[in-house]
Amino acid sequence: MGNWINLNGKFVKREEAKISVFDHGLLYGDGVFEGLRSYNGRIFKLEEHLFRLYRSAHFIMLEPPISKEEMGEEIIKTVRKNQLRDAYIRVVITRGEGDLGLDPEKCPHPNYFIIADRIQLYPKDFYEKGLEVVTVSIRRNPLYSLDPQVKSLNYLNNILAKIEGRIAGCVEAIMLNQEGWVLECTGDNIFIVEDGVLITPPTYIGVLEGITRNTVIELAKKNNIEVKEEIFSCYRLYNADECFLTGTAAEIVPVVKVDGRRIGTGSPGPITGRIREIFREYVSKEGTPVYEK
Ligand code: PXG
């Protein structure tokens, strides 16, 4: 299972799925990607992920070799080919082969590939006990350098933050902007809870508009939990009643300590628990079917 890679529309064995060393995706991180998930044979938020992928491509002036609709079909086919029901799906579009210079004009044929593999679930402890995370010194790319909305293959900014977090013994790290406002984690968005209200940084401040984040906002509102998109500092974060992270792979993970400060009671809080329940219920029903066609 998970052995067939979709490389430019053709299924090849994992070991044979190769891209040229002259591909600018590799030489310069010149390309875009998406990480999706399927739950019990249904791809979660396929439209939203495609929308974001094609907007990322548009931003870097990369014309994908196939349309958004065709890409959706290719994704479905790939999950089906690998006979997966619960999958993690990676879609990558690279600039393609060029010469050794930076110029994307020299790369006439973008490549794309789709990997569908079994989902690697995070340890139960993460959810039951909550995570300890730290803020790191490396700042998130500012809007004027590389807008964090773009899921580009150049994730070094986040990788450096991840390394810093790892050195501090944490699996996730909180990234701030130049002024010190809290933005997001290396691969997850962040929420705090204050007096029963969910607060998350607005996307205009320079955070990825996470699909899990948006789903949480929508579900919270539907369930009469107030949500505010507001910038906040570490002071507010340390003093929040609860904190949790959201992302496709992690779903919703409680955070119980930040920079050595206990958050709330030091155990995952009730609102986080409620959001997790609502989310789990939602993902079990939602999504584009892979097999019933
Ligand atoms: N912020 C950033 C910077 C991300 O890369 C999220 C938030 C969450 O977005 P979604 O749409 O998934 O709710 C991401 C997600 C990983 C991994 O292995 C995660 C992401 C990218 C690459 C790897 O955890 N992105």
Mean pLDDT by 10 residues, the chain (293 residues): 90 97 98 98 98 98 98 98 97 98 98 95 94 98 95 97 98 97 98 98 97 98 98 98 97 98 98 98 96 76
Centroid of ligand 1 to alpha carbon of 54 (angstroms): 16
Do 262 and 139 share a structural domain? Answer: yes
pTM of full prediction above 0.85:
yes
Residue type for position 71: M
Question: What is each CA distance from 95 to 23, 57, 71, 133, 213, in whole angstroms?
Answer: 7, 10, 16, 35, 29
Give φ, ψ of 14 to 5 degrees.
-45, -45
Give the residue, out of 56, 117, 126, 188, with the most ligand 1 atoms within 8 A of its beta carbon, to mutate for a pocket test.
Answer: 188
Say how many Å lie between the CA of residue 21 and the centre of ligand 1. 26
Q: Which amino acid is at 67?
A: S
CATH number of 182's domain: 3.20.10.10
Q: How many domains does the chain have?
A: 2
Same domain, 153 and 272: yes
Residues 102 and 129 in one domain: no
Q: Tell me: do 266 and 138 sit in the same domain.
A: yes
Whether 217 maps to a domain, the answer reads yes
46-59 and 68-81 are packed helices; what angle lies between their axes, rounded to 10 degrees? 130
Q: CA Rg, the chain, in Å?
A: 19
Q: What's the rounded Cα separation, in Å, for the pair 30 and 94?
A: 6
Look at residue 293 and tell me if it is in a domain.
no
- Classify residue 291: in a domain, yes or no: no
One domain, residues 279 and 171: yes
Is 164 found in the same domain as 53? no
Query: In angstroms, what is the span from residue 176 Cα to ligand 1's centroid?
Result: 16
Residue 290 lies in a domain: no
Nearest to 166 by CA among 186, 188, 189, 183: 186
Interacting residues of 239 by C-beta distance below 8 A, sequence separation 6+? none
Are 109 and 160 in a shared domain? no
Let me know if 45 is a catalytic residue. no
Which long-range contacts link 201-206 to residues 24+ away (Cβ below 8 Å)? Answer: 201/229, 201/230, 201/231, 201/232, 202/229, 202/230, 202/231, 203/149, 203/229, 205/177, 205/181, 205/231, 206/140, 206/141, 206/142, 206/143, 206/147, 206/148, 206/177
Q: Whose CA is nearest to atom 6 of ligand 1?
A: 188
Given 117, 133, 153, which residue is the final one in a domain? 117
Residue 140 CA, ligand 1 centroid: distance in Å: 14
Domain encompassing residue 17: 4-117
Name the residue at shortest CA distance from atom 19 of ligand 1: 187
Q: Does one domain contain both 65 and 17?
A: yes
- Same-domain check for residues 160 and 269: yes
Do residues 134 and 83 both lie within one domain?
no
Position 120 scores a pLDDT of 85
**Structure-block tokens of residue 136:** 């790191």
pLDDT of residue 293: 57
Residue where a domain terminates, one of 89, 117, 145 = 117
Q: In the structure, which protein residues have their CB atom closer than 6 angstroms to any atom of ligand 1?
A: 35, 158, 184, 187-189, 208, 210-213, 246-249
Same domain for 109 and 151:
no
Domain assignment of residue 200, yes or no: yes
Which domain-ending residue is among 75, 98, 117? 117
pLDDT for position 2: 65
Say if strands 189-194 and 182-185 run parallel, antiparallel, or are unpaired: unpaired
**Nearest 10 degrees: Cα torsion 79, 68, 110, 157:** -80
